[in-house]
Amino acid sequence: MGFVQFTLAVLGLGLEAALILRARQGRYLSHFPFFYSYLSYVFVWTIFTLMFFYFMPQLYPYVYWFSYSMMLLAEFAVLFELSDHIFRPYPGIRRLGQLLTGAVCLAFLLVYIIPALWRHQPSSIAFFELEKRTSLTKVVLIIVLLLVARSFRISFSRNISGMMLGFAIYLAASIANVALAEGLGRARYATIFSLVSPLAYFLALSIWTAALWRYEPVLPNQGNFSRGGDNFSEPLSVQLGRYSSELSRRFRR
């Protein structure tokens, strides 16, 4: 671990601690339990991996890859939580968002991720492939959530927008990093590879710190829009509320 990686790890620990303490002080930890659990997990395991790196280096690779693998899985839970918050004001649409999130994850798991695990290849290459595919699945999930929210004209709070932006930047950088490592060769790209992921995560943490420093609840939209070319307009919240109620009735059947 070089000086830059160590510095980014320490700065990241500071931002993670600040985010968690700020949310505790503001009493909104419970509003994003998966996200703050994810941050707490990364915080604790960063300390553990640093300790193993300096005091038990022979075990460091195993500890690092185990903690990183668990982090890849934990990020799916955070995205489920984001989906839940986006559509929270409208129960019917909220269920639709949950179904879409689950469907996208299941489809990519069966068609895209699991086949990569069954291939006969070195463990290091298999892990890179797993990271690339899980990151791509999460990016697709974010895009689907954005498209669905846009189709219903649902606006995001500052918290949700910042969380999604941070994750999108971090995941996109991870995908590009693995793709470049595969294209250029790990030996030639190793130095840059070890820097990109910490830098991208630190950037995501910076965005999350700015976005989550104050809690902003998700509220129904207050804008207006016209229907079917008529001159009649009504609040979008009324339209979404009616559609949400209809979806709720359909899901209960």
Q: Where are the domains of the chain?
A: 77-252
From 15, 65, 203, select the one nearest 23 (Cα to Cα): 15
CA distances 251 to 47, 92, 242, Å, are 45, 8, 14
Which range among 19-28, 46-55, 151-160, 165-174 shows the weakest confidence by mean pLDDT? 151-160
State yes or no: pLDDT of 212 exceeds 60.
yes
d(CA 11, CA 206): 10
Mean pLDDT of 141-147: 87
State yes or no: pLDDT of 239 exceeds 70.
no
Instruction: Report residue 222's pLDDT band, with 50, 70 and 90 as the boundaries.
Output: very low
pTM summary value: 0.79
Residue 53: both structure tokens together: 């790196």
Q: Under DSSP, is residue 4 helix (H, G, I), strand (E, B) or coil? A: helix
Strand duo 224-226 + 233-235: pairing: antiparallel
| Residue 234 phi, psi dihedral angles, 5° rounding | -145, 160
The average confidence (pLDDT) of the chain is: 79
Residue 61: both structure tokens together: 């690779």
CA distances 234 to 153, 219, 231, Å, are 14, 17, 10
CA distances 205 to 62, 105, 199, 200, 225, Å, are 25, 24, 10, 9, 36
CA atoms within 13 A on the CB side of 155: 12
From 91, 173, 105, select the one nearest 142 (Cα to Cα): 105
From 85, 82, 83, 88, select the one nearest 241 (Cα to Cα): 88
Residue 136: how many other CB atoms lie within 10 Å? 19
The string of pLDDT tens digits covering residues 5-15 is 899 999 999 99
d(CA 86, CA 164): 11
